With several copies, the nearest count.
Chain A
Amino acid sequence: MPYIPHDPEETAAMLAAIGVESIDDLFDEIPSRLQAQDLDLPEGLSEMALRRELEDRAMANSSLRCFAGGGAYAHHIPALVWDIAARGEFYSAYTPYQPEASQGTLQVLYEYQSFITRLTALEISNASLYDGASGLAEACLMALRIRGSDQSILVPENLLPSWRRVLDSVLGLQNIRLISVPYDTTTGLLQLPEDANAAALIVPQINAFGLLEPVDALTDWAHARGLLSIAVVNPLSLAILKAPGDWGQQGADIAVGEGQPLGIPLTGGGPYFGFLACRKAHARQLPGRLVAKTVDGQGREGYCLTLQAREQHIRRGKATSNICTNQGLMVTAATIHMATLGSQGLQEAAMTCHARASRLRALLEALPGITFPYAGAFFHEWVVRLPKDAVFVRDTLLKQGLLAGIPLSEWGEGASGDLLVCTTELLEESDLLTYREAMRSMLEAQ
């Protein structure tokens, strides 16, 4: 019996100890009409047959050279990261409710929090949220709690559309008003209104077109009008881009983002993790778990969960969030990833991503008929405008083993030829040339 250790003698002895005849008797409090017999499920497989079936399935997904980003990025993950994160002691433990028996997980989380605060230049980081988009929803709710009165948020239209949808779904439930802030269609950058009544302004750095926003000005604009500034950032980019805590005069109030670029495999969209950092003054409004360093009775240093009164298991309906199980193992991997790369490795990866993006753009610029709708600075992603339908181009390049990017038309944005292209350190010069050639023949074809 897969994963069940009992042999018939043991089962019999246990039933006897309980004083029943059969296992079915253990369910005698359940009305028998509720007890279904055979479920419509397939037969079980041996581990061997299972492996074969799933290896076939995995092979049925194309293996593509990745030029797509849009919130999920193909990066190199050092081999040690998942070798360690997948050790049973991390993999099969749970929330550190018993800190004495969970110092491993707790210290990892403390180090994670330390790394995130350093990346963001803010004082406090929680121990993870589900993903970047749901993390942004939590950040908005947090801002609303801090601000108290205002029940609206300014949401840029050049925020990733999937993130906007999550805000709509989650914040809509509490009748929170999401006020759209348009972008300038010639620059792709945010266009702020003169004034606004809202709890916070979301500032996406990098925006959905891969462009860098003038974050100092945006943050100052928000603060000048009494709004909080919520920074949405790519954590890897922070190795070279300005940290949210340093934006404008006072810095952003909350920084949130998708942690996937920090050692998390793409896996078709998840599990990833959301990170959220803020100022110490707002600690009590923070959603999610938080780990602190303390001492035991003998003065030995140790770690434990703290400010648990914010959380659902204590505060129930009044908690700062309903989150309970979060993304612990992802954060464990991210911590090991950051420690393995160090500032230096992260900076190198970020610099390489950027260099590749500049290089590929230069290569494509030479192709006839291709333009770039937005001229602004970028990190590792930009929009190219093709003289053909971008969906068609993307689908054609698939056959050459290239995932060429994300057609903006799939988001209902831009021109039909607009393709959002991303490069990371995984791409070598030869890949860029392959891409250019594939694009060239594609465009030359009738």
Chain B
Amino acid sequence: MNDSIFVHDHPTTPPALPTDIPAECLRQAPLNLPNAAELDVLRHYTRLSQKNFAIDTQFYPLGSCTMKYNPRIAHAMASLPGFARLHPDTPAPAMQGLLQVLWELQEWLAAATGMAAVSLTPAAGAQGELAGVAMIRAYHQSRGDHGRNKMLIPTAAHGTNPASAQMAGFEVIEIPNLADGDLDMAALDAHLGPDVAGIMLTNPSTLGVFERRIAEIAQHVHAAGGLLYYDGANLNAILGRVQPGQMGFDVMHLNLHKTFATPHGGGGPGAGAVAVQARLQPFLPLPTVHKEGPGTLRWLSELDVPQSIGRLSAHGGNIGVLLRAHAYMRRLGRAGVRRVSAYAALNANYLLKELQRVGYQAAFPQRRASHEFILSVSDLHKATGIRALDVAKRLLDFGIHAPTIYFPQLVPECLLIEPTETESKATLDRFVAVMAQIRQEALEQPELLREAPHHLPVGRLDEALAARRLDVAALS
């Protein structure tokens, strides 16, 4: 383990506090953050960084997260002083460069999704979901349709879907999936009715397969007066090829930190832009950018958009992330955007085929992979007691980040694998070879997996102890 930053502290005498501030407002106990030398700080955090797995250093096939290459040029562009030093309350005439970028991004995302309008403000997917279902709510209410308090969500959906629906005041109804991965239409129909506000779907679904009856679903939901929400987490699978708008969705979010290659940053920041069909446009969260003419762009406010669901953060959202997404889209252009889904699908289907070849079981063997796919190691589990967790931990020993495990929960002992389009065949082939070796180890030396990882700074951590002790801050 690295030393704590606190070991680098050099005690100092706190300064005399201002005398023109009432004593009752002033700090009591001296602030106790470490006073460390600049080199010690630099060294500490540089060395900590080296303990991370990251896209820049490892293959990172974390399903549902689209861990693709984050172009360094996007970081450079977002860091230009002309953007980085801009105060949010700068009047519009003095930030036309930024507004032009944001306006273009709105336009491009609308084009990419087949939607009428976009708001860039949500800070991540989950906030986009909240905005989306809030718009659904506002839409129904604007029509005087007040009884729609239920949101349908597939059992396999990501946890943020029900959490967001709940946060927007909806009751969540779960809809099961069939064995082939598609939604259970009968269950859906059984729930549709005047109390249903809409349904939240991911397509391709979190099961890694395309929901084939999406047109039919849309028709049924719409017929029942509901709206369709599209969780854009899996947009990478169909980018430039299938527009959610064309599938019948009314409102959606995009995870720019997935599909549009902005960095995941060890857990954010992301950006969860929302896109809507025309009838939902009046409800978009604020602010959005409006172009009156070249060089005359401005933010829209409550005065312009009185029906808006309002604001989700104090300013315009995660603008630095939006700048990166803009740079990425501009670099790729029309053809490049379409190639994303093409090669994401190629990599996923190739990997699925190869992993099946070396003995792994697909959760949906009759289906094409989308940009990702699910393996289940239930067979290994039965034969040797080895669990998906053990396979994941052993992968770390080979310098490969583990896939997502135990999500979606309905597939037992599952690994959700998403290679992304930016990985080369050579990287995939190495992954297959390692997975083949791990499978053999599972059968021959299962303890090698059960005790993995062996070659990392720490072994498996005692999570129960962590929760019990709850040592979440160094005591001063």
Stretch binding the partner chain, chosen from B183-191, B331-339, B379-387, B437-445 = B331-339
For A41, list chain B residues within 8 Å (CB): 108, 111-112, 329, 333-334, 337
A66 with B87: in contact, given A10-B10, A39-B338, A128-B268 (CB under 8 Å)?
A: yes
Contact, CB under 8 Å: B457 / A103: yes
B87-122: CB near A (< 8 Å → 1, else 0) gives: 111110111111011000000100110100000000
Residues of B within 8 A of A108 (CB): 45, 48, 266
Q: Is the CB of A57 within 8 A of B166?
A: no
CA distance A318 to B21 in the complex (A): 44
Q: Is the CB of A42 within 8 A of B163?
A: no
A238 to B31 alpha-carbon distance, docked (Å): 8
Interface residues of A in 295-349 (CB under 8 A from B): 295-298, 300-304, 306-307, 311-319, 321-330, 332, 335-336, 338-348
- Report which of A72, A98, A293, A302 forms a contact with B89, defined as CB distance below 8 A: A72
B85 touches A74 (CB 8 A): yes
A224 at the binding interface (Cβ < 8 Å): no
Find out whether the CB atom of B163 lies under 8 angstroms from the CB atom of A5: no
Q: A93 to B473, Cβ gap below 8 A?
A: no
Residue among B48, B70, B315 making CB contact with A270, cutoff 8 Å: B315
Please give the distance in Å from B207's CB to the nearest CB on chain A.
13
Whether a CB of chain B sits under 8 angstroms from the CB of A118 is yes
Asked whether, in the complex, the Cβ of B396 is within 8 Å of the Cβ of A343, the reply is: no
> Quick check: A80 and B72 within 8 Å, CB to CB?
yes
Distance, CA A127 to CA B241, complexed state (A): 37
In the bound complex, do residue B31 and residue A92 qualify as a contact, i.e. CB atoms below 8 Å apart?
no
A54 to B57, CA, bound (A): 28
In the docked arrangement, what's the CA distance between A14 and B339, Å?
Answer: 16
What chain B residues lie within 8 Å of A266 (beta carbons)? 84-88
Q: From the candidates B76, B456, B462, name the one contacting A101 in the complex (CB within 8 A).
A: B456
Q: Tell me the chain A residues, 106-138 only, with Cβ under 8 Å from chain B.
A: 107-108, 110-111, 113-119, 121, 123-125, 127-128, 130-134
Chain A's nearest CB lies how many Å from the CB of B444?
22
B220 beta carbon closer than 8 Å to chain A: no
Q: What A residues does B472 contact at CB under 8 A?
A: 110, 113, 124-125, 283, 290-293, 306
B209 and A240 form a contact (CB under 8 A) = no
A27 and B28 contacting across the interface, CB-CB below 8 Å: no
Q: Is the CB of B462 within 8 A of A54?
A: no
Q: Provide the bound-state CA to CA distance between A160 and B476, in Å.
A: 32
Interface residues of B in 27-64 (CB under 8 A from A): 27-42, 44-46, 48-58, 60, 62
CA distance A147 to B473 in the complex (A): 26
Given A94-B266, A101-B401, do A398 and B94 touch, yes or no (CB 8 Å)?
yes
* Residue B372 is within 8 A (CB to CB) of chain A in the complex: no
For the complex, is A371 an interface residue (Cβ under 8 Å from B)?
no
Q: Are A173 and B368 in contact (CB under 8 A)?
A: no
B 417-438 to A, binary, CB cutoff 8 A, 1 in contact else 0: 0000111110000000000000
Determine whether the beta carbon of B313 is less than 8 Å from that of A89. Answer: no
Which stretch of A164-172, A178-186, A195-203, A436-444 is in the interface? A164-172
Binary interface profile of B, 295-334, with partner A (CB < 8 Å = 1, else 0)? 0000000100000011111111111110100010111111
Decide if A71 is an interface residue (CB 8 Å cutoff). yes
B80: interface (CB < 8 Å) = yes
- Cβ of B453 and Cβ of A83 under 8 Å apart? no
Contact B111 A343 (CB under 8 A): no
User: Which chain A residues border B347 with CB–CB below 8 Å?
Assistant: 14
Binds B, one of A28-36, A381-389, A427-435: A28-36
Distance of A29 Cα from B329 Cα, bound (Å): 27
Count chain A CB atoms within 10 A of each CB in B33, B67, B407, B453 and give the residue with the most. B33
For B9, the chain A residues whose CB sits under 8 A away are: 342
Q: In the docked arrangement, what's the CA distance between A31 and B210, Å?
A: 10
**CB distance B89 to A406 under 8 Å?**
yes
Give bound CA distance, A269 to B123, whole Å: 12
Please provide the chain A residues from 210 to 255 with a CB less than 8 Å away from any CB of chain B in the complex: 212, 214-216, 238-243, 246
B292 contacts the other chain (Cβ, under 8 Å)?
A: no
Q: In the bound complex, do residue A95 and residue B56 qualify as a contact, i.e. CB atoms below 8 Å apart?
A: no
CA distance A68 to B86 in the complex (A): 11
**A3 and B261 in contact, given A131-B123, A377-B25 (Cβ under 8 angstroms):** yes
* CA–CA, A215 and B98, complex, Å: 39
In the complex, what's the smallest C-beta–C-beta distance from A256 to chain B, in angstroms?
12
Q: Contact check, B87 vs A5: say whether CB atoms are below 8 A apart.
A: no
Q: Are B169 and A71 in contact (CB under 8 A)?
A: no
Give the residues in chain B near A160, CB-CB below 8 Å: 314
Chain B: CB-nearest residue to A77: B84
- The proximity string for A residues 369-386 relative to B, scoring 1 for CB distances below 8 Å and 0 otherwise, is 000000001010000000
When the two chains form their complex, are residues A296 and B459 in contact, meaning their CB atoms are under 8 A apart?
A: yes
Which residues of the other chain, B, contact A102 by a CB distance below 8 angstroms?
A: 51-53, 266
From B125-133, B222-230, B273-281, the one touching the partner chain is B125-133
Given contacts A3-B71, A68-B89, A166-B310, contact A271 B269 (CB under 8 A): yes
How many angstroms between the C-alpha atoms of A92 and B265 in the bound complex? 5
> Which chain B residues border A323 with CB–CB below 8 Å?
124, 126-127
Q: Mark B378-421, 1 if CB is under 8 A from A, else 0.
A: 00000000000000110010000110100100000000000001
* Alpha-carbon distance between A66 and B270 when the two chains are bound, in angstroms: 27
Q: B229-256 interface mask toward A, CB cutoff 8 Å, 1 = contact, 0 = none?
A: 0000000001011110011000000010
Find chain A residues with CB under 8 A from B114 CB: 36
Known contacts A90-B54, A325-B124: does B319 contact A57 (CB below 8 Å)?
no
Smallest CB separation, B183 vs chain A (Å): 14
Partner of B36, one of A40, A295, A342: A342
Q: How far is the CA of A15 from the CA of B421 in the complex (A)?
A: 14
A23 within 8 Å of B (CB atoms): yes
CA distance A23 to B369 in the complex (A): 12
Nearest first, the 7 A-B pairs at minimum CB distance are A44-B333, A269-B315, A88-B56, A58-B82, A329-B265, A169-B310, A328-B267
Known pairs A14-B347, A340-B41 / 5 extra A-B pairs, C-beta < 8 Å: A46-B331, A63-B85, A168-B310, A330-B269, A339-B33
A-B contact pairs, 27 of them (CB 8 A): A2-B336, A14-B425, A26-B345, A29-B210, A39-B243, A44-B335, A61-B97, A72-B87, A82-B79, A89-B50, A92-B55, A103-B1, A103-B457, A104-B50, A114-B474, A117-B473, A168-B310, A170-B312, A267-B84, A269-B88, A270-B320, A324-B126, A328-B266, A330-B269, A347-B15, A377-B21, A398-B94
